[in-house]
């Protein structure tokens, strides 16, 4: 059984769930509006430029989880999925997932965005396996910290290697779909890298390497 791995943000969905969650928190008045939005914008631009300090970003992004009861967080998350995520699901992404499901590949999403935000999105695509950045959870609450290796850039490769060791998989005849040059470390490891609506850097790299370039939009 081959691995068919998908990035989430701007690949399976037409937007960045991490960024959109931050915007949602601002719009609902859950965080300090302008200050939070300004920082969220800066971090997103750093991500797009490939110079994001992932630990610094995670301290920012996970802090709101530590300030509220989980019951409130889950209620807000349900609203977020309905209002901001379901409208940007992509029929072509569902088709790509189903193509791999039909031939018996094991489906996985691997994403830098934390599991709290991404787990319900991945379930909408019927995908059971998710590797994501892990928020720390203790005594019934999120702490604002993260556990283990952030699932970002080379961290995606390390986290996937850990998963494959535990589950006795390898990358033989594997696929990885992504939009971002931040995913080049993993794209270069798999048998079949696919650039999906790629950013400019990934587009140039894919053209040079002769990788398929597709659109889910």
More confident residue, 1 or 197: 197
The closest alpha carbon to 98, from 4, 195, 212, belongs to 4
**Cα–chain-centroid distance for residue 97?**
16
Lookup result for tokens 């430029």: 49
Residues sharing a CB contact under 8 Å with residue 27, sequence separation 6 or more, in sequence order: none
- Token pair, residue 93, equals 């992404």
Catalytic member of 9, 105, 179, 183: 9
**Distance in angstroms (rounded) separating the CA atoms of residues 112 and 203:** 20
**Distance in angstroms (rounded) separating the CA atoms of residues 59 and 81:** 23
The pTM (predicted TM-score) of the whole model is: 0.96
Lookup result for tokens 């009861």: 69
- Token pair, residue 150, equals 């952030």
Mean of pLDDT values over 116-128: 98
The phi, psi pair for 152, rounded to 5°, reads -145, 135
Q: Is the pLDDT of residue 107 over 90?
A: yes
Cβ proximity of 58 and 18 under 8 Å: no
Catalytic member of 7, 16, 18, 199: 7
CA–CA distance from 174 to each of 1, 109, 187 (Å)? 9, 13, 10
Summarised one tens digit per residue, pLDDT across range 30-77 is 998 889 999 999 999 999 999 999 999 999 999 999 999 999 999 999
| 131 strand-pairing partners | 110
The reply to whether 41 belongs to the active site is: no
The reply to whether 7 belongs to the active site is: yes
Q: Is the pLDDT of residue 209 over 90?
A: yes
Range list of β-strands (E), 164-205: 175-178, 192-196
CA–CA distance from 207 to each of 112, 201, 214 (Å)? 25, 10, 12
Mean of pLDDT values over 91-101: 98
Q: Which domains does the chain have, with CATH numbers?
A: 3-14+90-214 (3.40.50.1000), 17-87 (1.20.1440.100)
The phi, psi pair for 64, rounded to 5°, reads -60, -30
Summarised one tens digit per residue, pLDDT across range 150-200 is 999 999 999 999 999 999 999 999 999 999 999 999 999 999 999 999 999
Q: Looking at residue 32, what is its pLDDT?
A: 86
Summarised one tens digit per residue, pLDDT across range 15-27 is 999 999 999 999 9
């Amino acid at each position: 059984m081959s691995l068919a791995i998908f990035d989430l943000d701007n690949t399976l969905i037409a937007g960045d769930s991490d960024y959109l969650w931050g915007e949602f928190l601002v719009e609902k008045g859950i965080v300090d509006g302008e200050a939070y939005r300004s920082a969220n914008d800066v971090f997103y631009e750093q991500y797009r430029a490939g110079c994001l300090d992932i630990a610094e970003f995670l301290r920012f992004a996970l802090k709101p989880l530590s300030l509220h009861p989980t019951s409130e967080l889950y209620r807000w998350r349900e609203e977020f999925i309905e209002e901001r995520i379901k409208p940007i699901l992509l029929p072509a992404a569902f088709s790509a997932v189903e193509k791999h499901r039909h031939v018996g590949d094991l489906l996985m999403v691997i994403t830098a965005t934390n599991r709290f935000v991404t787990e319900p999105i991945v379930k909408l695509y019927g995908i059971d396996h998710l590797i994501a950045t892990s928020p720390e959870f203790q005594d019934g609450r999120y702490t604002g910290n993260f556990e283990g290796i952030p699932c970002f850039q080379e961290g995606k490769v390390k986290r996937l290697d850990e998963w494959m060791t535990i589950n006795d998989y390898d990358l033989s005849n594997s696929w990885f779909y992504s939009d971002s040059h931040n995913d080049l470390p993993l794209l270069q490891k798999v048998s079949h890298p696919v650039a999906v609506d790629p950013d400019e850097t990934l587009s140039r790299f894919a053209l040079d390497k002769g990788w398929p370039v597709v659109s889910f939009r």
